[in-house]
């Protein structure tokens, strides 16, 4: 006879999905793109006459490196988690917004609603919108069942078969 199902033991190991997303408070992307285009143009030459003369792009490459370093220094990593059904139901109310959702999802660092709102205002609309899309996708993440099914020989009754 099998043992009775231990519900408490079953749910005690539950862990909602988590993921980490980055936000940059310094956006040098347009300047980096412009400088990299200049580097590419200098490397390939504007026309055939210039292609035989190697261009000195060292200063441009140093500028790109400095801009990328400034962006990296401004990077913040935020770990969020999926939302439980009861939380999702509560967040669906008319009195809540995306900042309430992010506060519920935040794992590391744990930020409150007002901190998320302030972060959103300094991160820039496009970047924060992309961050929110990732948070929304994680909030209601579909469970992916790993393919670790036991081999048939271990899941079936291990008694001797009369067919042997």
Query: What does the pLDDT look like over 33-52, one tens digit per residue?
Result: 999 999 988 877 655 555 44
Query: What does the pLDDT look like over 11-36, one tens digit per residue?
Result: 787 888 889 999 999 999 999 999 99
Is residue 110 scored above 90 in pLDDT? yes
- Give the up-direction half-sphere exposure of residue 43: CA atoms within 13 A in the CB hemisphere: 10
Asked if 101 and 83 count as a contact pair (C-beta separation under 8 A), the reply is yes
- Mean pLDDT across 54-61: 78
**pLDDT score of 49:** 52
This prediction has a pTM of 0.67
């Amino acid at each position: 006879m099998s043992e009775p199902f231990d519900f408490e033991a079953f749910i005690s190991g539950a862990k909602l999905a988590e993921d980490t997303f980055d936000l940059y408070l310094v956006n040098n992307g347009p300047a980096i793109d412009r400088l990299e285009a200049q580097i590419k143009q200098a490397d390939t030459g504007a026309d055939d006459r210039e292609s035989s003369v190697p261009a000195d792009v060292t200063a441009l490459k140093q500028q790109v490196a400095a801009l990328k370093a400034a962006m990296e220094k401004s990077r913040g990593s935020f770990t969020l988690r999926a939302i439980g059904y009861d939380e999702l139901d509560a967040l669906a109310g008319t009195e809540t917004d995306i900042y309430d959702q992010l506060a519920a999802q935040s794992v590391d660092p744990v930020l409150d609603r007002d901190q998320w709102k302030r972060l959103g205002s300094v991160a820039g609309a496009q970047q924060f919108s992309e961050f929110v899309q990732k948070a929304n996708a994680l909030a209601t993440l579909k469970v992916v069942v790993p393919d670790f099914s036991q081999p048939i020989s271990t899941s079936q009754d291990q008694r001797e078969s009369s067919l042997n």
